Amino acid sequence: MVEKSERIPEGQEQTDTDLYYTAANARLWLWRGLRRSASRIGRHGVIWDGSGWSVDKEEVQPIADEISCEYCVTPMGGQWDGAGYAVVFHESGAGNRLSMYIGDSPVGPFRNPIRLYACPEPLQGKTIYAYSAKAHPHLSARGELLSSYNVNATSKNSHMEHGCIYRPRFVNIRQIRLR
C-alpha cells in the first residue's frame, strides 16, 4: 500500500490510499480511496481505467498483465535509474524467476518484466518452491536493489530432512547500464 499525504486544513487528516490487488487472471489492479481519518477509510474510491481515475468499477483496467499472488509495489526514491516505482514479484506465481516491472508512477505503466534473479532452490527438487518476492529500496545503495523471497516445501518429509528450507532468502541486485 502506498500512501500520499497532501496539505489539508488544520484539524482534518486526509490521505489518498492506493490499494493494489490481483484477481484470478493474475493481473494487477489499482483502487484509490480517501482515508477520512486514521481509524476509518472512506467507502468511496476510484479505480484506474487505463488513462485516469473513474468511479465506474466496470471501467477498471489492469496496470500489469502478469503478477503473483504476493508482490511488492514500492516507490524507488531515486535508488534505480528510470524507476519511479517498482513492482517486484515471482513470474508464473510461485516460480523461480524473481522479476520486476518499473514505472514512473503508482499506475505504471508496468510492462515487460525485467528478470532479476533465478531462485535456485526450486531446482533442487525436494518439493521446494519460492514465493513472496519483496523489494527493500530503503535498505539498498543507489543502483542496487535488495530483494527478498521466501522458500517452502509441499512435503512434511522435506521439512524434516532439510530444516533450513522454510526461511527468507535475500539477494542484492545491481543495476547494469547498457550503452
User: Amino acid identity of 92?
Assistant: S
Distance CA 102, CA 86 (A): 5
Whole-prediction pTM value? 0.77
User: What pLDDT is stored for residue 24 in this prediction?
Assistant: 60
User: What pLDDT is stored for residue 94 in this prediction?
Assistant: 67
* Residue in the block written with cell 490499494: 19
Distance CA 50, CA 111 (A): 13
* Residue in the block written with cell 508482490: 71
User: What pLDDT is stored for residue 51 in this prediction?
Assistant: 87
User: What pLDDT is stored for residue 44 in this prediction?
Assistant: 60
User: What pLDDT is stored for residue 128 in this prediction?
Assistant: 86
Mean pLDDT by 10 residues, the chain (179 residues): 39 59 67 49 67 82 84 86 89 81 88 91 81 91 92 87 87 79
Task: Note whether 84 and 73 are within 8 A (CB).
Answer: no
User: What pLDDT is stored for residue 23 in this prediction?
Assistant: 67
User: What pLDDT is stored for residue 42 in this prediction?
Assistant: 38
- Residue 35: strand pairing partners: 15, 41
Distance CA 164, CA 151 (A): 9
User: What pLDDT is stored for residue 123 in this prediction?
Assistant: 78
Distance (Å) of CA 5 to CA 10, 14, 53: 13, 7, 18
User: What pLDDT is stored for residue 98 in this prediction?
Assistant: 92
Task: Note whether 24 and 12 are within 8 A (CB).
Answer: no
Distance CA 50, CA 96 (A): 30
